[in-house]
Amino acid sequence: MENNTAPWSQLEAAAAAALSKAYAPYSKFRVGAAALTTEGRLISGCNIENAAYGVTLCAECAMVGELFAGGGGKLQYFLCLGQLEDGAVALITPCGRCRQLLFEHRAPGMEVQTDTGVLSMEQLLPYAFGPNDISL
């Protein structure tokens, strides 16, 4: 499924820039996320911790906030970087909550760069629950 024209280096740079602004005084685990929308808009977000851990914002949540603050759209390409206290930065996969968030706002065929290669959202979150599962 890997697309050689996908903007992975651009996304990695945007995620690294976002990661540098993360607020993670408790876990010391800084995270930056970046995506490209189907309209070609580059968006990013960083994690923002809180002393009341339950109100911590994941980088993906901040990024989806930017998606909607900028007019909405759908996510086409996504990657996430994490940095530990020793300074090492690596590709990481989103937590379950954030996978659900990404699933909700994905474009058909969305690609996610992981440390094991490019995956579809359906591979990253099989048997997902989404808008089509709700009768309104």
Catalytically active residues, by annotation? 60
DSSP string, 12-80: HHHHHHHHTT-B-TTT--EEEEEEEETTS-EEEEE-B--SSGGGPBPHHHHHHHHHHHTT---EEEEEE
CA distance 98 to 82: 14
